[in-house]
Structure 1
């Protein structure tokens, strides 16, 4: 019987590291029913807001609460909204243990971002993530069209887009968003809670606009004086204002 000892052993899989986009849900209460109700209300006007996105539960703001979290009920509610809860972070030892019992894994805590002389923008196209140099501190510039399914996030910076943001594309910034072209997809400014952030576009016809978590979808038609025209989006207290430029 012949035995081949010179050939390379073949395997049926490869193990590689991966970086995937995850939606972070920051809890401000331990009441699972209230959280589920709030989430359902936020997506009521846009049932396609989530598309089976993986979800990370951030417990940093409630880690000192004595009231336990019903993770099983919360996971079930999130799955009913077309998301996939997979991980949890920032909780107390008891909260993390309860989350693990509900099938959630522990994700590493992330320290607050610090200003760097040169940062990087992450451009996510479905499951492909590319690091793009930022031309200047505090500002991310994109000079190519963004197609449906593409997402750009300017972490800790303003975002300037010089080309069309197509329907189904998403632009996110911790600061302001400037689109010097038609804005037809989703624009989310002040992603980390900056209520002074604004969205500017030379042709406003978005699928969704949001500032510091307060949003408006195309289910509510824009007024004639701003639809398809130069306009800005800003907050006045907790009211989202859309005004002509």
Structure 2
């Protein structure tokens, strides 16, 4: 037999569980000058790309790569905080460091948050070389962007930039050389793509780029990019094609270009 009993609760407040949208920056090198240079190269021409987003600094890769004989990397956390703040990021917590690093991070005003889960993409299987149908990747651990898309129905000229924050981007006209399209989700260009296309901009590795005529200056998915300095295969260049990211422990990250048959 079950019994329901009346309870009491405070009249002035309630305690509820909550979740925050957090970005994670996985630090791969203690060299802050290299970090500053690469942040400037990646986002220097996009000053509004971040909007004071809360961020967790993940040191687990530094720990994994350190040998038993090597001394732990010394990190200047106040300098890291200042550098990320300059790029409109708000470092909130740190995870994955050794005892000395975590203590230094806390002294710099960051929270020790080893229980924060930094999600990574599931590794898709290698597609069989003899089959025409691509193998379906396993579902990503990262959450997909919400439904809906930003639709642009005008040509984009050199110097113009469009960013679909938190969703897909659909472009119905040409993306000219020097123009740039960015999306946190997929990018669809139903016209020639001759500028730059950056999909999965906030780290979603399952994002794809689709173009009716693939002639890009640059394509990037989840930070993995390829420029026009490296020629695309003839069966892709100038044809309807798609780009996806394939990752494996053995081969690393690769951009896979596939022709789309009408």
User: Between Structure 1 and Structure 2, which shows a larger proportion of strand residues?
Assistant: 1
State the TM-score, normalized to the length of structure 2. Answer: 0.53
Partner Cα distance (1:87, 1:38) in 2: 22
Superposition deviation, residue 203 in structure 1: 8.4
Please name the residue that 1:129 is paired with. none
Superposition deviation, residue 114 in structure 1: 6.6
Question: C-alpha deviations, 1:77-98, integer Å up to 9, x for none?
Answer: 1101111011111111111111
Q: What are the within-5 Å matches in structure 2 for residues 29-44 of structure 1?
A: 29-44=29-44
Moved more, 91-100 or 106-115: 106-115
Contact 2:170 2:187 in 1 (8 A): no
Please name the residue that 2:104 is paired with. 98
Partner Cα distance (1:43, 1:77) in 2: 13
Please name the residue that 2:83 is paired with. 77
Partner Cα distance (1:39, 1:178) in 2: 23
Asked which structure has the greater CA Rg, the reply is: 2
State the TM-score, normalized to the length of structure 1. Answer: 0.56
Partner Cα distance (2:183, 2:121) in 1: 25
Superposition deviation, residue 48 in structure 1: 1.7
Superposition deviation, residue 103 in structure 1: 1.0
Please name the residue that 1:151 is paired with. 166
Question: In the alignment, which of 205, 221, 227 is matched to residue 211 of structure 1?
Answer: 221
Q: What are the within-5 Å matches in structure 2 for residues 7-156 of structure 1?
A: 10-11=11-12, 13-63=13-63, 64=66, 66-107=72-113, 108=115, 110=117, 122=143, 144-145=148-149, 151=166
Please name the residue that 1:220 is paired with. none
Q: Runs in 1 of length 4+ with deviation above 6 angstroms?
A: 111-115, 117-121, 165-168, 180-185, 237-244
Partner Cα distance (1:98, 1:120) in 2: 31
Unaligned runs of 5+ residues in structure 1 are 1-6, 126-141, 153-160, 172-176, 217-225
| Equivalences, count | 193
Partner Cα distance (2:254, 2:139) in 1: 34
Contact 1:165 1:185 in 2 (8 A): no
Partner Cα distance (1:209, 1:18) in 2: 36
Partner Cα distance (2:200, 2:104) in 1: 32
Unaligned runs of 5+ residues in structure 2 are 1-7, 124-137, 152-162, 173-180, 227-235, 246-251
